[in-house]
Amino acid sequence: MARPRNQERLIINKKFAFLAGLFLSTLMPTVGSAQAPGVTEDTIKIGTYGPITGPYFAFGRLTMNGMEALFADVNEAGGINGRQIELVRVDDQCDPAGAISAVRRLIFNEEVFAIVGGSCSNGVLAAKEDIVESGIPYINFAAASNKISAPKEDNIFTSMLTSNLESALQAQYLADVGATSVAVVAQHDAWGRDRHETLIPALEEKGIEVVADEELSMESNDATAQVLRIQSAQPDAVVLLSYPKPASIFLRDSARLGFSSTFIGTSVIPDPVAFYEQVAVPGATDNFVTISPSRHPVDSEEAAEWREKLVSAFPDDTPHSYNLYGITAGELTVAALEAAGEDLTRESFIAALDQVNALETTFGPGTLDCSTHQCLQSAAWIKRNSDGVAEVVGTSELD
């Protein structure tokens, strides 16, 4: 597969490491040195994991691609205090057992300095105990569950918009546009549940009534029943807690049945122009506005430079806004590594992360502030305008 050459070597190394680990790990005493694990004179080894293959690859592989592109830039400019960043990828295929084994492999066999990764909430939650016990610095880059980073753990940070924050921002947006009644369409998998659990109380808090609460599964090819039920409830707005596929089916059927309302998306549909093309029914997404942890979508003017870098490094993968979440996570990592200084230890890195309070990033809607360890506190609202271009209609932070 097309990937940078040095990564080719890295993968072979990983296979050797795995075999060696399986058969020899016990026979070899751990190398004791003054350096922190994964840090040498001229390298820092960072581990990442998430779905690289399988149905959810976009959340993992694409986010990793963005982060890797950023690290390549940093390395080219001389690295961090003279050290080059090495990225080790492990595939967890979005499976809890896979995530536990990926995290343990990174900690015990790869002996990485820190982990920046995690895409599926259930996987991260399954591996959380191991992460906490080992004390390894961990930045979660794509999984959204609030339970990952709250209650606050010393070594766990997140650069992704957490589900409770996203829900609160959605509720705030709805209150701002004057909606008093809302319908919810959710897919009932781990991701959809997590959103649903946080959105309903957030709406209540703003005094917004939930007049319809429907499910639309990934397998559905038809949403007639859901549209009709919601239509008869006459909500001011509809929140689509679903992946692009169910959301597009819902919007198509709404257009067909003549139902129109304000449709609110989530951060898995961060690009309304790409979504418009997926729905492929003229006019169906006219009232669709979506929330994104990235200030610009990937096909915007502002992201052009990164798009080129991504395409040349990963020609097989079409650029996607998830790439940009990886860039944000990478920038946070790099900033904290730089702040931790020459004598890099896990403690100094965590302390540096704790100090982050107004970090500007290329794509973050606002600055990053890690005092609660949930570093991203803001989101952008994006809409496809009448010229067919994605337009940021505003960024919001929690009141």
Partner 1 sequence: MLSVLLTSGIANGLLYGLIALGVVVLSKAANAVNFSQGDLMAVGGFVSYSVISAAGLGPAAAIVAVLVVSVVAGIASFLILRPLMKTEHVMSLLIATIGLSFLVKGLIRLIWGGQGDYLAVPPLVQGPPLILFGGNVIIPLQYLVMMAGAAVIILLFAAFFRFTRLGLFMRSVADNPRAAQIVGIPTQLVLCSAMVLSITVTAIAGFLLAPATLIFPDMGFALFLKGFAAAIIGGINSLPGAIVGGILLGVCEVMVSGYVSSSAQELSAFVLIFVALIFFPRGIFGARKTRSV
Partner 2 sequence: MPEKIMKHAKGWLNSPVLPILIAVLVGAFGLTLNPYTLFLLTRIVIFVMLIVGLNIMLGYSGQFTFAHAALFGVGAYTTGLLQVHLGLPFVPSIMFAVVLVTAAGTLLALPALRISGIHLAIATLAVAQAVTWVLVNWTDVTFGAGGFRAPSLRMFGMDKTQTIFVVSLVLTTAVYLLVRQLLTTSFGRRFIAIRDNQVAAAANGVHVTRVKAQAFAISAAIAGLSGGLYSSLLGFVAPESFNLEQMILMKIMVVVGGIGTMLGSVIGPIVVLTLQEWLRDSEGWLEIIFGGMLVAFVLFLPRGLAPLILNAITGKFRSQSVDDAPQTGQSLNAAPSENRKDEEAV
Binding site for partner 1 (CB under 8 A): 53-55, 57-58, 188, 214-217, 219-222, 224-226, 228-229, 232, 243-245, 248-249, 252-253, 256-257, 274, 277-280, 316-318, 320
Q: How far is the CB of 254 from partner 1 (least distance, A)?
A: 12
Q: Is the dihedral of CA 78, 80, 84, 87 positive or negative?
A: negative
Among 126, 171, 274, 279, binds partner 2 (CB under 8 A): 126
Nearest to 117 by CA among 85, 87, 147: 87
Q: How far is the CB of 212 from partner 1 (least distance, A)?
A: 10
Q: Among all chains, which residue has been given the structure tokens 């230890």?
A: 345
- Say whether the peptide bond before residue 29 is cis (omega within 30 degrees of 0): no
Q: State the DSSP H helix or E strand holding residue 394, giving kind and residue range, or none if neither.
A: strand 390-397
Q: How far is the CB of 362 from partner 2 (least distance, A)?
A: 28
Q: Which does 95 bind (CB under 5 to 8 A by kind): partner 1, partner 2, none?
A: partner 2
Stretch that binds partner 2, among 122-130, 169-177, 293-301, 303-311 (CB under 8 A): 122-130
Nearest to 19 by CA among 114, 130, 105: 105
Q: How far is the CB of 40 from partner 1 (least distance, A)?
A: 33
Q: Which does 21 bind (CB under 5 to 8 A by kind): partner 1, partner 2, none?
A: partner 2
Q: Which two tokens stand for residue 344?
A: 């890099």
**Taking a C-beta distance cutoff of 8 angstroms, is the pair 295, 380 a contact?**
yes
Q: How far apart are CA 1 and CA 154, in angstroms?
A: 38
**Taking a C-beta distance cutoff of 8 angstroms, is the pair 218, 271 a contact?**
no
Q: Which does 26 bind (CB under 5 to 8 A by kind): partner 1, partner 2, none?
A: partner 2
Q: How far apart are CA 140 and CA 158, in angstroms?
A: 4
Among 43, 81, 108, 372, binds partner 2 (CB under 8 A): 108
According to the binding rule CB under 8 A, does residue 90 interact with partner 2? Answer: yes
The smaller minimum CB distance to partner 2, of residues 102 and 336, is found at 102
According to the binding rule CB under 8 A, does residue 73 interact with partner 2? Answer: no
According to the binding rule CB under 8 A, does residue 39 interact with partner 2? Answer: no
CB-hemisphere CA count at 13 Å for 25? 12
Phi, psi for residue 273 in degrees, rounded to 5: -75, -45
Nearest to 329 by CA among 45, 170, 115, 149: 115
Name residues contacting partner 2, limited to 183-242 (CB under 8 A): 188-194, 197
Q: Which residues bind partner 2 (CB under 8 A)?
A: 1, 11, 14-15, 18-19, 21-22, 25-26, 52-53, 89-98, 100-102, 104-105, 107-109, 121-122, 125-126, 129-130, 145, 188-194, 197
